[in-house]
Amino acid sequence: MTHYSNLTTQMELDFEALAVESIELSLEAIDQAAELATQIPNEQRQWQTYLNALALFSFEQWLAERSPEMRVNKEECSLFQPAMANSIEAVFNLKVHGFKLCLIATGSLMDEEVTLPRAVIDLPEFVPHFYVLIDVREEQEMAVIRGFLPYNQLLEKRARVNVTADEDWTYQFPLTWFDGSLDRLLLNLRCLEPSAIPLPAVPDDRLTQLSRMRSQLEALLPQLQSPERQLWQVLSWEQGAVVLTNPELLNWLYQLQTQDEAQPDISLTPYLSDLLQLLTQKAVNVRRWLWNELDELAQEFSWQLLPSFAGANAMRSLTQEVRSPAEEFEGIVRELQHNNVEISTEARGAYRNLQLGETPLRLYALTWLLLSESVPEWTLLLIVGTPSQTSLPVGLKLRLSDQTGVLVEQELDTDENHPYFFTSVVGTQDEKFIATVSLGSGIEQTLPPFSFTLER
Per CB under 8 A, contacts with other proteins among 252-271 are none
> Binding of other proteins at residue 38 (CB under 8 A)?
yes
Rg (CA), the chain: 29
CA–CA dist 309, 326 (Å, integer)? 9
Give the per-residue contact string, 1-20, with other proteins (x = CB under 8 A; - = no).
x-xx--xxxxxxxxxxxx-x
Contact positions with other proteins (CB under 8 A) in 169-188: 172, 175-176, 178-181, 183-184, 186-188
Residue 83 beta carbon to other proteins: minimum distance, rounded to whole angstroms: 20
Contact positions with other proteins (CB under 8 A) in 121-150: 137-141, 146-147, 150
Contact 379, 370 (CB under 8 A): yes
The one segment of 35-43, 215-223, 260-268, 361-369 that binds other proteins by CB under 8 A: 35-43
**Which is it for the CA torsion 338, 343, 346, 350, positive or negative?**
negative
DSSP readout, 352-421? EEEEETTEEEEEEEEEEEE-SSSS-EEEEEEEEE-TT--PPPTT-EEEEE-SSSEEEEEE--SSS--SEE
Among 39, 81, 163, 192, binds other proteins (CB under 8 A): 192
Q: Three-state SS for 319? A: coil
> Binding of other proteins at residue 44 (CB under 8 A)?
yes
The one segment of 112-120, 307-315, 373-381, 434-442 that binds other proteins by CB under 8 A: 112-120
CA–CA dist 315, 325 (Å, integer)? 17
CA–CA dist 290, 273 (Å, integer)? 29
Nearer to other proteins, 14 or 204 (CB): 14
CA dihedral 274, 279, 281, 285 (to 10 degrees): 100
Residue 112 beta carbon to other proteins: minimum distance, rounded to whole angstroms: 5
Residue 193 beta carbon to other proteins: minimum distance, rounded to whole angstroms: 4
Among 76, 156, 168, 238, binds other proteins (CB under 8 A): 168
The footprint of other proteins on this chain (CB under 8 A) covers a number of residues equal to 74
- Give kind and range of the element (H or E) at residue 427: strand 420-428
Contact 312, 323 (CB under 8 A): no
Among 71, 76, 98, 110, binds other proteins (CB under 8 A): 110
Residue 12 beta carbon to other proteins: minimum distance, rounded to whole angstroms: 5
